[in-house]
């Protein structure tokens, strides 16, 4: 099923929030930037809350705006389409995962075991909100826009499995191997959401894939 995209709307000229954002005041940049960041975060949280209850179909742009307490024109300035909003919600989930990894890095001795730790931690986090996970994963697979999901998961797997290696530092082969593992995880997660895999089955399959793909990383 293809995820419906939001229809781009022109910002309202009477949007008070937009007017405040578009007029700079001396020394007010930091205040304005903080306000914009808080507003954006509020919008993303509202979208995630709606998706967790009714999937992407529940993320109607007008409903998101109302829940976040912003004008519809303001919402479209931050997120021109529903898919842009989906990508932002995914980004928020990855931010949470990265924060968790920073607070409690994987302690396993092998690259593959550290990668498995990260992926299974991500699985547990997503499955706390299965409708949200299903909506986000399906939408990203069907996405017609460039999304950062694959690169961010690949980069995270490289960092934990290869002692801080970044995407820029990694060889093409290393990026391909970590990216392949991330793809395996996404497909296994979808199977779990469809009821075709248990958590233990996913872990076993991810362990097998990681051991093969990351053996020489």
Closest CA to 85 of 42, 111, 34, 47: 47
Q: Which CATH number fits domain 18-80: 3.40.50, 1.10.1740, 1.10.10, 1.10.3470?
A: 1.10.10
What pLDDT score was predicted for residue 131?
80
Domain boundary assignment for the chain: 18-80, 83-213
Could you please state the CATH topology (level 3) that the domain comprising 83-213 is classified under.
Tetracycline Repressor; domain 2 (1.10.357)
Helices (H), the chain: 16-22, 29-54, 61-68, 72-78, 82-103, 111-127, 130-142, 149-161, 172-193, 199-213
Q: What is the pLDDT of residues 75-120, one digit of tens each?
A: 999 999 888 888 888 888 888 889 999 999 998 999 999 999 999 9
What pLDDT score was predicted for residue 210?
97
More confident residue, 13 or 143: 143
Q: Does pLDDT of 66 surpass 50?
A: yes
Q: What does pTM read for this prediction?
A: 0.73
Q: Which residue has the tokens 């199977």?
A: 191
> pLDDT tier at 30 (50, 70, 90 boundaries)?
low
């Amino acid at each position: 099923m293809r995820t419906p995209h939001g229809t781009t709307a022109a910002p309202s000229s009477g949007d008070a929030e937009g007017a405040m954002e578009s007029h700079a005041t001396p020394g007010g940049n930091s205040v304005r930037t903080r306000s914009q960041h808080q507003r954006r975060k509020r919008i993303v949280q509202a979208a995630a809350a709606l998706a967790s209850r009714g999937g992407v179909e529940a993320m109607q742009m007008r409903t998101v705006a109302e829940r976040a307490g912003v004008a519809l024109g303001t919402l479209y300035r931050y997120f021109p389409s529903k898919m842009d909003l989906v990508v932002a919600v995914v980004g928020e989930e990855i931010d949470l995962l990265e924060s968790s990894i920073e607070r409690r890095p994987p302690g396993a001795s092998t690259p593959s075991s550290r990668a498995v730790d990260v992926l299974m931690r991500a699985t547990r986090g997503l499955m706390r909100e299965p409708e949200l996970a299903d909506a986000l994963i399906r939408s990203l697979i069907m996405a017609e826009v460039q999304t950062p999901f694959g690169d961010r998961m690949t980069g995270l797997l490289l960092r934990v499995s290869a002692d801080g290696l970044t995407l820029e530092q990694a060889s093409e082969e290393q990026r391909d191997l970590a990216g392949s593992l991330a793809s395996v995880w996404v497909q296994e997660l979808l199977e779990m959401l469809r009821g075709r895999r248990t958590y233990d089955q996913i872990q076993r399959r991810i362990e097998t894939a990681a051991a093969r793909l990351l053996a020489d990383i």
